[in-house]
Structure 1
């Protein structure tokens, strides 16, 4: 039996809320949007590349956002001494490039677990918490900046996911 990305529902963001809950709700919204773009697709469809020479695929986007969540929230904001899962100094685009033999069911579960760990890691930090990024130690960021950046990162990649999904089966939507 072939694995298929599961369907899910997506909560709407509040129109009025304090800053932290508002940022968190938008982040959750975009995480769910990426998963919705993948819903109902099988392994072959999830691995379908956009247009040569691009290596962009829905499966690759999920792996990429796993790395981005891990990088900004756990490695940078909290300073956890953890490696990336798919990328390395020898293979900076492993998240996008190395999907041929990768198992989507495992990678999707890893993604969901990673954003849960990311949320838990920063839950007690203030939005004013500052930190350097391991790849840019001369620059200092706030957790607020990281939230806004993550929302922007998801928004951009969810646009890519829209185009990929439309190419796969013609589906469009939110």
Structure 2
């Protein structure tokens, strides 16, 4: 991996600036964990019986971004990227995927999520979470997605170490 290019969150800032910065930092962390690896390395599994891979994590996070920003605030009926049945597990199967396919989808969903967040008047903006059948705030969505990245970036740490021994940050 090249030098750490991530921009850390501010020590002081508004609630929105802080949430946005932490979310972008976690997004950059996932990209950094995958940096410089081939498609085959990105598909390397953690340890049996797990089939978890870095590429599967990227695909899953594309689904998370879509489910929590696009589906909640724009179109409750839009299908997921890799599943018409709203099966989040389907994204983890990256065996036929490539870096280009997975990262293109993930980056497109991240950009859409950023657009949705920036267009909202406040963190109290309400959207409808179709899986729960209830209204949720943009604040709740940002925190939820931030926690998803935090959890899965922990997985990415172990996966990257298993691929080439790279650890840290």
Return the TM-score normalized by structure 2. Answer: 0.91
Q: Report whether the alignment pairs 1:95 with 2:97.
A: no
User: Which position in structure 2 is the counterpart of 1:115?
Assistant: 110
Q: For the Cα contact (< 8 Å) 1:30–1:155, is it kept in 2? A: yes
Q: CA RMSD in A?
A: 2.0
- Partner of 2:127, secondary structure, is strand
Q: Give, in whole Å, the separation in 2 of the partners of 1:66 and 1:25.
A: 18
- Partner of 2:82, secondary structure, is coil
Q: Give, in whole Å, the separation in 2 of the partners of 1:115 and 1:127.
A: 18
Q: Give, in whole Å, the separation in 2 of the partners of 1:158 and 1:113.
A: 19
Return the TM-score normalized by structure 1. Answer: 0.89
- Partner of 1:118, secondary structure, is helix
1:20 to 13, 16, 31: 16
User: Which position in structure 1 is the counterpart of 2:39?
Assistant: 43
* Count of residue pairs the alignment pairs up: 168
Deviation per residue, 1:10-49 (Å, 9 max, x gap): 1111100011111000110000000000111111110011
User: Which position in structure 1 is the counterpart of 2:28?
Assistant: 32
Deviation per residue, 1:51-70 (Å, 9 max, x gap): 22222100000000000001
Q: For the Cα contact (< 8 Å) 2:66–2:113, is it kept in 1? A: yes
Measured at CA, do residues 17 and 129 of structure 1 come closer, stay the same or move farther in structure 2, by a change above 3 Å?
same
Q: Which runs of 5+ in 2 are unaligned?
A: none
Q: Which runs of 4+ in 1 moved over 6 A?
A: 5-8
User: Which position in structure 1 is the counterpart of 2:146?
Assistant: 151
Identify the range of structure 1 (42-51 vs 83-92) with the bigger mean alpha-carbon deviation: 83-92
2:65 to 60, 69, 81: 69
Q: For the Cα contact (< 8 Å) 1:78–1:122, is it kept in 2? A: no
Q: Which runs of 5+ in 1 are unaligned?
A: none
Measured at CA, do residues 80 and 45 of structure 1 come closer, stay the same or move farther in structure 2, by a change above 3 Å?
same
Q: Give, in whole Å, the separation in 2 of the partners of 1:130 and 1:14.
A: 26
User: Which position in structure 1 is the counterpart of 2:156?
Assistant: 161
Identify the range of structure 1 (16-25 vs 120-129) with the bigger mean alpha-carbon deviation: 120-129
